[in-house]
Structure 1
Amino acid sequence: MFIKTVYIFFSTLLSVLLYVKGIHISHSLVKVSVKAGKSISIPCLYEFQYKNHVKYLCEGYDWTFCRYAVKTNEADPSGKYSISDDKKLKVFTVTINQLAHKNTDYWCALDITNGQDYGQYFQLSVTRGTPSVFVDHQTITGYIGESITIRCHHSNSGEMKWCRLGRSCVTGSSGSIDGAAVTAHMRDPNVFTVTMSGLRSKDSGWYWCAKGDIQIPVYLNVTQKPITTSFDPRILIIPLSVFIWIVIVVLFIWFILRHSKYY
């Protein structure tokens, strides 16, 4: 465990050095909690100049000996892994299905042509019980001009955070991320609730909530609220009243005419 911790430290240090050189991947996620048998999606942020490079997921805590899991230019026939690349947001997303306890150490990686590949380490904390930090839905939809609320369930201690991938974080009861107002509270036991107000389309993207050293990524999709037409039964009152009145008149006339034949 000590050797692994030291390795992760130096891997992180290497990533920082690569960042200074301008060649890096940064997803800001280090340790993600998930339940065994479930799926998890992990976003990996990269720089613009690498948008056309092949991205891949590498399995194993040793970067030198990690194994290819899935690449953006090759589908995984087993269906265990999938990967997608959003070149506009400069994020590629890897999804790992049917997680088991052996699935713990991975790298988001870039294939560098005529050079050494680069990767950013993350760890999955896979448990048979309830994860240390989890959300009800990893993908949520909000509407422009409105608010969205995310409930982050947790069972561990530590600082509460709500962050945007590769951007800033809110660590207190209020703040803002890229101009969007954020409030947070912990009124419910083992739940911290985050509300983002005045949503704009540019607020779409990956976020993550954390409690202590455990994190969970959340994708927020901000869109126009669909226009719905609701039926108001009151609009039928006048035409229905007219119809009933006509029926009464017709029946009255029919009654008069029918009885007039006998006189």
Structure 2
Amino acid sequence: MAVPLRILLILTLIPGIHSIKTVRQVSVKAGAPVTIPCLYEAKYRDNVKYLCKGYTWASCSYEIKTNTPQNSQIYSISDDKTQTIFTVTIKELADKNTYYWCIVEIDGGGDVGERFYLSGTTGPPSLYVDNQTVIGFIGENITINCHYTISGAMKWCKLNSNCVTGTSGSIDGTRITLNTSMKNVFSVTLSGLSPESSGWYYCVKGNFQMPVHLTVTEKPTGTVQTSTNNESDTTAVDEQRSSVDINSLIIPLSLLILVVIVALFVWFILKCKQAKADSPSSKSTEEAVTYSDVTFKTKKPAQTVETDVDVTYSSVTTAKQQSLRRSEAKDMDVTYAAMIHHKRNAEPSV
């Protein structure tokens, strides 16, 4: 049930009348999605929640409700009844500047709601974060970077809690440190995370706010790297680790290649030596001529006189045969060669 604007304005002047809490002004790049948290009182846990679009409550149009099928291509809505927060997501900002309302429907009475403003930009938003959803681990730290292109005071706040305006402070027992050393960025570090650290936070710079949801859980077994919200930082760390891994492999790979080359060279040398040892020419050299026997005999008288001495027999003994002979005649150390020379009988004179 809608309430006229003039009545709404009167109600806003009454302390404690605000039943919905949300951010007021968010800068969004045109075409990019954004999620807005809407905190409500516990007594409205089972009520219907919805998103309304328009400058005034009286004239705003229903965009999406929690009790209707969510078939919208532009909007989505979800209700966390445990945390008493419902969130609306504008998947793509159609208009350049748009007003919306987070509203809780009251049966038989006036609905309650709170307005927020989306400022669309074609370039970098006035205030933005790398990721609206981050995960941290109990007992560890997490850093969130808030980027800005405008001037103004900076804060770090928790929805329905206090804000840290200086360089350090505490929210719900979690230590908060703000760092402004980087240009156009102030980083927020949450130290000593606990389950109570979970919830919706938002950066503040000037008139703009940017919501961020933090979930703190137990660290999974075997997890080495602490989760961070900064995707660019994670990418840089991954690239650096890859570079270190490659550099650490260069020396072992070089040594392995050198060992393989030396092994191939030694194998080649041994192969050549083996080939020479197995060749037929090397085997034939073992059978060399080492001894020879020559016998001279005188020709018979009836034969024609040719010469006084003729060589008639020659025998060649190989080293293997000689070795056999030596084994048969163990007591003989010297082999003799005999030559017999005979003169032919002189023919009788006439």
TM range (shorter): 0.7 to 0.9
Deviation at 1:75, TM superposition (A): 2.7
Identity of aligned pairs, percent? 52
**Could you tell me how far 1:13 is from its partner in structure 2?**
6.7
Aligned with 2:199 (options 202, 205, 224): 205
- Match of 1:182? 176
Question: CA deviation digits over 1:212-250, x for unaligned, max 9?
Answer: 1011000001111111188xxxxxxxxxxxxxxxxxxxx
Counterpart position of 1:236 = none
Q: What TM-score results when the alignment is normalised by the length of structure 2?
A: 0.60
**Which structure 2 segments of 5+ residues have no match?**
225-350
1:4-153 to 2 correspondences below 5 Å: 14-15=11-12, 17=14, 20-21=16-17, 24-27=19-22, 29-102=23-96, 104-153=98-147
SS of residue matched to 1:77: coil
Equivalent AA in structure 1 for residue 196 of structure 2: K
Amino acid at match of 2:20: I
* Deviation of the 1:16 alpha carbon: 5.3
Q: State whether residues 101 and 127 of structure 1, in contact with CA within 8 Å, keep that contact through their aligned partners in structure 2.
A: no
Q: How many angstroms apart in 1 are the aligned matches of 2:88 and 2:10?
A: 23
By how many angstroms is 1:166 displaced? 1.1
How far does the alpha carbon of each residue in 1:58-95 deviate from its partner, in whole angstroms, 9 at most, with x for none? Answer: 00011101000111111332321111111111100000
Is 1:195 matched up with 2:189? Answer: yes
1:188-229 Cα distance to aligned partner (Å, 9 max, x none): 000000000000012111000010101100000111111118
Count of aligned pairs: 220
- Inter-partner Cα distance in structure 2 for 1:103 and 1:10: 25
CA distance in 2, matches of 1:42, 1:222: 20
The equivalent residue for 2:167 is 173
Aligned-pair distance for 1:118?
A: 1.6
Amino acid at match of 1:93: T
Cα distance change, pair 49–70 in 1 and its aligned pair in 2 (3 A): same
Q: 1:37 to 1:228 in 2, by over 3 A?
A: same
CA deviations on 1:19-46 (whole Å, 9 max, x unpaired) are 625x61112x110011011100000000
Matching residue within 151, 155, 159 for 2:153: 159
- Higher radius of gyration, 1 or 2: 2
Is 1:218 paired with 2:225? no
Q: Is the 8 A contact 2:134 2:212 kept in 1?
A: yes
Higher RCO (C-alpha under 8 Å, 6+ residues apart):
1
Q: Which deviations, in whole Å up to 9, do the C-alpha atoms of 1:118-175 show, x marking residues without a partner? A: 2101000111110000000010110000000000000111110100011100010000
1:9/1:209 CA distance change after superposition, 3 Å: farther
Deviation of 1:9 after TM superposition, in Å, equals 11
Contact 1:180 1:197 in 2 (8 A): yes
Does the 8 Å CA contact 2:201/2:211 hold for their aligned counterparts? yes
The Cα RMSD (Å) is 2.0
> Please, what TM-score do these two structures have when normalized by structure 1?
0.79
Q: Is the 8 A contact 1:15 1:120 kept in 2?
A: no
Matched to 2:70, the amino acid is D
